[in-house]
Structure 1
Amino acid sequence: MSNLQAVLKQYWGYDQFRPVQEEAIRSVLEGNDTLLLLPTGGGKSICFQVPVMTMEGVCIVVTPLIALMKDQVEQLKRRDISAAAIHSGMNRHEIDITLDNCIHGQTKFLYVSPERLRTEIMIERTKQMKVCLLAVDEAHCISAWGYDFRPSYLLISEFRLLIPKVPVMALTATATEQVQIDIIDKLEMKPVRVFRQSFARANLSYSTFLEENKERKLLQILKNVPGTAIVYVRTRKRTKELADWLTKQGLRAAGYNAGLPFKERSDRQTAWLKNQVRVVVATNAFGMGIDKPDVRAVVHFDLPDNLEAYYQEAGRAGRDEKKAFAVALFNKIDLEDLAENVEKKYPAMDVLRRVYQSLANYYKIHVGGGEFSAYDFDIQNFTGTFGLIVNETHYALKLLEEEGFIQLSENFNNPARLHFEVDNRQLYDFQIRNPEFDTFVKLLLRIYGGELFTEYVRISESELAQIYFVPELEILKKLSFLKERGIADYEPRRDKPQLTFLTPRYDAALLPLNVFEIERRRERDRQKARAVIQYASNKNRCRTILLLEYFNEMDGKDCGVCDVCLKNKKNEPRPEIDEELGNQILHYLKSFGAVTPRALSQIFENVAEKPFLQTLRYLIDEEIINYDQVGKLTLNSKYHS
């Protein structure tokens, strides 16, 4: 077993790499800039995490979403790998300690947003770190032709000047040829090696249905396809309405959206992961970073804005490589709405300036101030205060985010955190002087350990209350007292959407909006909407082929399992088969069990090759016989009796 395989086995429990993974890892270890394109669920993270575990130093990971950062950090910690993240929910002291731990070699992975790269503290501390790799996740965000453009990604090439000899690995699940060119250019990757895995998913059957009664069709699909499912809708309101309706039809369903309280979101997600809930009806806030391999169906009840998002969301089905279904439902009004939604996403410039000015007034931020300041955000209260239209304001905020002025974290949860500001001796002195706190301090140390002295540790006030046999309010008072006396820094839990100003506040009249670039993105989104409409309306070409061509993979073959391929197969004249031969094959499999195709052909060596293959193909197509996990032919269980 190679050193890389040993690391893979030790930390991730896998015996072998998937196709492309090992080649990409070796490219990084050879010091090459590397662009990796793997489909959703293809194991991108392993490609930068495994090599770092064989290198000396810390890997800086740039990723756009706080939720993804936290998920990755927690996954690494569960594998006993030291990891940390810096995000807008942290105070300066906490950031200070986190960066110090990276300098002193106590952290292997540091997750940051692209905006964080330009801060003075990040720049100065990076100069003192031994950085072994720069990983840029969701790298399509660097391209104006990507589906989730973040202008702050353009800062990464400047940041690379601090670590000129450190290779960069850029990773994405969805990138057209134009986006790939942009990634290589904007990250100044040279020399660069590009690795990609086919976007074809042999086990995933794509279908679209033009339906006036989408609810009835959805119910039919969920009844015909057993197992867990995700249903994607466009609005928060519809998550509840559709989940309630499915529940009334006898299905275990739950709605999920970023507007729910954190505990409710977490409980619903956990119930689904444990198969206590079968169907989650969700906005696209659901699914990122969730590793559930046995999802059997992903249904788009509402069409997404682009095929990149569709491919990513549909790709959450069948990660266990068993048969799964990706279905899009639509009617004629949906197609009209898709085109109209593009125009709604781009409010007039005066609307953008008014919303920006209102934000500054709302949080009382003076011109030149407020950089990286984060605030709780309630859109209903905000729009009501300034007489703004909610829907228009929502899109204005998104556009201000795309322009790099603000960051809006809707799906936000920051657990309570604690860090001792004193050393062991000073803490002991405090316990002697305050005996009523002695058992409480000992409890904290017993539960959370010595890490309380070196970093901010996530704590749960409610769990502490249960263990300490007191009301939660009493725990809050004790933690606040420790903070007031300078013994510990206590950050209470925050569970509201967070709005962060990424730049010093501008005079709204002078807000440097890139009007030309915004118009270019509007035209890009129009093209992407047209591609979705063409995909949904297509009746003649294999859907996998359409998706592959969209991502510039031109050598794909008909999948044979999408709705179009199945329709075409039905219309083909069926070759004549030898019914007696078919019965003999079935009798053999029933009597002797699984056998390889080669061995079966040898058993029936007296039969001419063409009729044998035609009969065998018919039995496989009709799913009377199947391939098992090791490639042997076996009789379908329902034909055993």
Structure 2
Amino acid sequence: MDIFHHILKQYWGYTQFRPLQEDIIRSVASGKDTLGLMPTGGGKSLTFQVPGLAKEGICLVVTPLIALMKDQVANLRSRDVKAAAIHSGLTRDEINVILENCIFGGTKFLYLSPERIGTELFLEKLPHMPVSMLAIDEAHCISQWGYDFRPSYLKIAEVREHLPDVPVLALTATATPDVVKDIQQKLLFKEDNVFEKSFKRDNLAYVVRYAEDKEEQLVKVLQKVPGSAVVYVRSRKKTKEYAELLLKNGISASSFHAGMPQEVKDEKQKRWTQNEIRVMVSTNAFGMGIDKPDVRVVVHMDAPDSLEAYFQEAGRAGRDEKKAYALLLWSNNDKARLKRSIPMSFPEKETILNVYKALGNFFQLAVGSGFGMVYDFDMGLFCSTYKMNVMVVFNSLKILQRAGYLEFTEELNLSSKVIFILRRDELYKFQVANEDYDTFIKLLLRSYTGLFTEYVSINEEVLAKRMNVTRQVIYEYLVTLSKLKVIKFIPQRKTPLITYTTSREDTKYIELRKEVYKDRKTRYEDRIESVIEYGSTNHICRSKLLLSYFGQKNIENCGQCDVCQQMKKTDLSVNTFDEIEQQVKKLLRNNPMTFNELSLQLKVDENDLQKVIRWLEEYEVMGENEQGKFEWWRN
């Protein structure tokens, strides 16, 4: 057994890697810069965790998903692997302790948010760290062609200059050919090196159903298709409404969104994972890092803003390779709403500048100051204070982030943290002299490890139950011990954050470059049109349409989506139908023809040709002109 399979068995209990995992692992372990394209659920994290454990030193992992970062650190620690995370929600002292432990404390994995990787403190400590490899998750964020570009990712190239001999592993679930090329250029790959798993999912049937009454359709689908399900909606309010609708119809369901307390989200996720809840109705906050293989159906009540997002979310169905469904409920309202989203997602430049100016005033920040400052951001208070629309502010902040002026970290839920300042012998003397605090200190030390070397997350509720007191009493103990300089205590925080990546500018100097605003708006419009095409097209195989969007060519019809199922009703095989359709399309694209002219040109059975043409006419893909000749109408 080689080292990689040994680690896989020792830490995860598996004997075999999934397709592509081993190829990627061996590539980066041999020192090659590597890009891995693996659809959601393909096991991306193992491709850096396994070689990271095999190599001496630290694996740096850059990811923008703080919730996922926290989950993976907790998961690694549960396997006795020393891991830590640095993101915008931490104090400078917390970050300093973590970095010092990376230098001296045997840390194997350090997760970093992209805005942290270019900071002065990190770059000061980096040369003293024994870094073995650099893993970049959600690597499409480095590309301005991508749907989720983040300027802070560009700092990774600067970090590579400090680590000239350290290989890079870039990972993403969705990337178009342009983005694949751009990722490798931006990350300074020595040579192109891409491992790509086909996005084709043979067990997943993509279905679009036109529905004016989506609620009725949802209930019917979930009554018909058994098993675990996820229902995606656009608003927090809808998560509760649809969950209640399902419960009224005898379907086990619960709601989930980012604004819920972390303990509530954890409990709901646990119950759904263990099949105590059948259907989770959620915003797109649900799904990242969730590894539940037996989801039988994913339903989108509303069309997402990009096929990248849809493909990722739909791909959470059927990871066990058994038959599953990805259903989009579509109506004319979806098309209208997607069109309306364009001016909402890209407010007028003057509006964006007003948001930036108001933000500086909100934080009482003088022009020329603020660089590197992190502020808790109450979005509701800000919008009411300056009479601004929440979505306009949200999207303005995203554009200012892409332009490099600030980082906007959406809702963050950070538990309370504690580290002991006193050494063990000093602490013992304190306990002897202060009997009132002795019981609580002993409880802390029994409940958590590592309190003398790092900030440790604690749960006041758990401590309160163990001491049979209220949470407020525990909080007062912590505050008092902090004042007495026995511990450092960081209370729980749940808030979005604004980090200034430059000093506050006068708005006349704010520049929204063409590639940040105009070009991205054009690409956003193109993505919206792709979603509209997917939702409203009924003559092209759904799987083929999705795969061609991601650059995969010469794909056969899937035979199981709603379009392919309709084709089968002609009594022709899906491939035969597709072959005749392509020939008809090729001829009619050049010039209109009568049926007889088509029949003479094509060497196919006349009855088969009639069936295909009848179907194409029914779905308004082609039709007759005034001269009685067939014309091709659709793409």
- Shorter-normalised TM range: 0.7 to 0.9
2:370 partner SS: coil
Corresponding residue number in structure 1 for 2:421: 421
1-structure distance, mates of 2:499, 2:265: 22
1:133 partner SS: strand
Structure 1 outlier segments of 4+, above 4 Å: none
1-structure distance, mates of 2:536, 2:275: 34
Segment of structure 1 superposing worse, 54-63 or 275-284 = 275-284
Task: Map residues 187-226 of structure 1 onto 2, 5 A cutoff.
Answer: 187-226=187-226
Corresponding residue number in structure 1 for 2:133: 133
Deviation of 1:79 after TM superposition, in Å, equals 1.7
2-structure distance, mates of 1:37, 1:138: 10
Corresponding residue number in structure 1 for 2:459: 460
Deviation of 1:501 after TM superposition, in Å, equals 2.9
Deviation of 1:47 after TM superposition, in Å, equals 0.6
1:524 partner SS: helix
Deviation of 1:516 after TM superposition, in Å, equals 4.7
Deviation of 1:153 after TM superposition, in Å, equals 0.9
Deviation of 1:504 after TM superposition, in Å, equals 2.6
Given that 1:255 and 1:282 are in contact with CA atoms closer than 8 Å, whether structure 2 keeps it comes out as: yes
Deviation of 1:430 after TM superposition, in Å, equals 1.2
Deviation of 1:105 after TM superposition, in Å, equals 4.5
What per-residue deviation string (whole Å, max 9, x for no partner) do you get for residues 438-462 of structure 1?
A: 222111111113x100101111111
Corresponding residue number in structure 2 for 1:591: none
Please tell me the residue identity of whatever aligns with 2:41. Answer: G
Per the alignment, do residues 38 and 106 of structure 1 end up closer, same or farther by CA in structure 2, a change over 3 Å counting? same
1:418 partner SS: strand
Task: Map residues 243-282 of structure 1 onto 2, 5 A cutoff.
Answer: 243-282=243-282
1:547 aligns with 2:549: no
Corresponding residue number in structure 2 for 1:559: 558
Task: Map residues 340-359 of structure 1 onto 2, 5 A cutoff.
Answer: 340-359=340-359
Deviation of 1:276 after TM superposition, in Å, equals 2.2
2-structure distance, mates of 1:403, 1:283: 27
Per the alignment, do residues 408 and 264 of structure 1 end up closer, same or farther by CA in structure 2, a change over 3 Å counting? farther
2-structure distance, mates of 1:362, 1:269: 36
Please tell me the residue identity of whatever aligns with 2:562. Answer: D
2-structure distance, mates of 1:260, 1:395: 22
Given that 2:403 and 2:516 are in contact with CA atoms closer than 8 Å, whether structure 1 keeps it comes out as: no
TM-score, normalised to structure 1, is 0.87
1-structure distance, mates of 2:74, 2:507: 39
Segment of structure 1 superposing worse, 460-469 or 261-270 = 261-270
Deviation of 1:463 after TM superposition, in Å, equals 0.8
Corresponding residue number in structure 1 for 2:327: 327
Given that 1:229 and 1:298 are in contact with CA atoms closer than 8 Å, whether structure 2 keeps it comes out as: yes
Please tell me the residue identity of whatever aligns with 1:549. Answer: S
Please tell me the residue identity of whatever aligns with 1:199. Answer: F
2-structure distance, mates of 1:380, 1:348: 21
Corresponding residue number in structure 2 for 1:2: 2
Task: Map residues 77-88 of structure 1 onto 2, 5 A cutoff.
Answer: 77-88=77-88
Task: Map residues 219-234 of structure 1 onto 2, 5 A cutoff.
Answer: 219-234=219-234
Corresponding residue number in structure 2 for 1:50: 50
Segment of structure 1 superposing worse, 59-68 or 566-575 = 566-575
Given that 2:35 and 2:171 are in contact with CA atoms closer than 8 Å, whether structure 1 keeps it comes out as: yes
1:490 aligns with 2:479: no
1-structure distance, mates of 2:365, 2:464: 38
What per-residue deviation string (whole Å, max 9, x for no partner) do you get for residues 380-424 of structure 1?
A: 211111122233222222222333333333342100110011211
Given that 1:343 and 1:522 are in contact with CA atoms closer than 8 Å, whether structure 2 keeps it comes out as: no
State how many pairs are aligned.
Answer: 574
Per the alignment, do residues 517 and 440 of structure 1 end up closer, same or farther by CA in structure 2, a change over 3 Å counting? closer
Given that 2:239 and 2:256 are in contact with CA atoms closer than 8 Å, whether structure 1 keeps it comes out as: yes
Given that 1:32 and 1:192 are in contact with CA atoms closer than 8 Å, whether structure 2 keeps it comes out as: no
Given that 1:57 and 1:105 are in contact with CA atoms closer than 8 Å, whether structure 2 keeps it comes out as: no
Deviation of 1:496 after TM superposition, in Å, equals 2.7
1:522 aligns with 2:518: no
1-structure distance, mates of 2:79, 2:482: 32
2:320 partner SS: coil
Please tell me the residue identity of whatever aligns with 1:260. Answer: M
Per the alignment, do residues 247 and 206 of structure 1 end up closer, same or farther by CA in structure 2, a change over 3 Å counting? same
Corresponding residue number in structure 1 for 2:472: 473
What per-residue deviation string (whole Å, max 9, x for no partner) do you get for residues 333-375 of structure 1?
A: 2112212212210011111111111111112222333334333
2-structure distance, mates of 1:254, 1:111: 31
Deviation of 1:134 after TM superposition, in Å, equals 0.6
2-structure distance, mates of 1:53, 1:263: 31
What per-residue deviation string (whole Å, max 9, x for no partner) do you get for residues 255-297 of structure 1?
A: 2222333333333323322222221221111111111111111
Per the alignment, do residues 29 and 322 of structure 1 end up closer, same or farther by CA in structure 2, a change over 3 Å counting? same
Identity over aligned pairs, percent? 49
What per-residue deviation string (whole Å, max 9, x for no partner) do you get for residues 203-258 of structure 1?
A: 11100011111111111111111111111111222222222222222222222222
2:342 partner SS: helix
Given that 1:41 and 1:316 are in contact with CA atoms closer than 8 Å, whether structure 2 keeps it comes out as: yes
1:417 partner SS: strand
What's the C-alpha RMSD, in Å, of the aligned pairs?
A: 1.7
Segment of structure 1 superposing worse, 537-546 or 392-401 = 392-401
2-structure distance, mates of 1:348, 1:386: 17
Per the alignment, do residues 503 and 291 of structure 1 end up closer, same or farther by CA in structure 2, a change over 3 Å counting? farther
1:44 partner SS: coil
1:517 partner SS: coil
Please tell me the residue identity of whatever aligns with 1:463. Answer: V
Please tell me the residue identity of whatever aligns with 2:206. Answer: Y
Per the alignment, do residues 262 and 498 of structure 1 end up closer, same or farther by CA in structure 2, a change over 3 Å counting? farther
Per the alignment, do residues 4 and 364 of structure 1 end up closer, same or farther by CA in structure 2, a change over 3 Å counting? same
Corresponding residue number in structure 2 for 1:581: none
Please tell me the residue identity of whatever aligns with 2:554. Answer: D
2-structure distance, mates of 1:265, 1:363: 31
1-structure distance, mates of 2:554, 2:312: 21
1:536 aligns with 2:535: yes
Segment of structure 1 superposing worse, 214-223 or 554-563 = 554-563
Corresponding residue number in structure 2 for 1:631: none
Deviation of 1:573 after TM superposition, in Å, equals 4.8
Deviation of 1:100 after TM superposition, in Å, equals 0.9
1-structure distance, mates of 2:573, 2:122: 66
1-structure distance, mates of 2:266, 2:411: 11
1-structure distance, mates of 2:316, 2:483: 47
2-structure distance, mates of 1:245, 1:376: 36
TM-score, normalised to structure 2, is 0.88
Please tell me the residue identity of whatever aligns with 1:465. Answer: A
Given that 2:89 and 2:412 are in contact with CA atoms closer than 8 Å, whether structure 1 keeps it comes out as: no
Please tell me the residue identity of whatever aligns with 1:49. Answer: Q
What per-residue deviation string (whole Å, max 9, x for no partner) do you get for residues 475-513 of structure 1?
A: 111111111111111111112333333333222332232
Deviation of 1:561 after TM superposition, in Å, equals 1.6
Deviation of 1:318 after TM superposition, in Å, equals 1.0
Corresponding residue number in structure 1 for 2:382: 382
1:454 partner SS: coil
Given that 1:226 and 1:296 are in contact with CA atoms closer than 8 Å, whether structure 2 keeps it comes out as: yes
What per-residue deviation string (whole Å, max 9, x for no partner) do you get for residues 105-130 of structure 1?
A: 52111111111122111001111011
Corresponding residue number in structure 2 for 1:18: 18
1-structure distance, mates of 2:139, 2:328: 27
Given that 1:232 and 1:301 are in contact with CA atoms closer than 8 Å, whether structure 2 keeps it comes out as: yes
Unaligned regions of 5+ residues in structure 1, if any?
576-641
2:556 partner SS: coil
Deviation of 1:468 after TM superposition, in Å, equals 1.3
Corresponding residue number in structure 2 for 1:597: none
Please tell me the residue identity of whatever aligns with 2:567. Answer: N
2-structure distance, mates of 1:171, 1:424: 43
2-structure distance, mates of 1:516, 1:321: 40
Corresponding residue number in structure 1 for 2:631: none
1-structure distance, mates of 2:292, 2:573: 39
2-structure distance, mates of 1:499, 1:277: 36
Given that 1:204 and 1:324 are in contact with CA atoms closer than 8 Å, whether structure 2 keeps it comes out as: yes
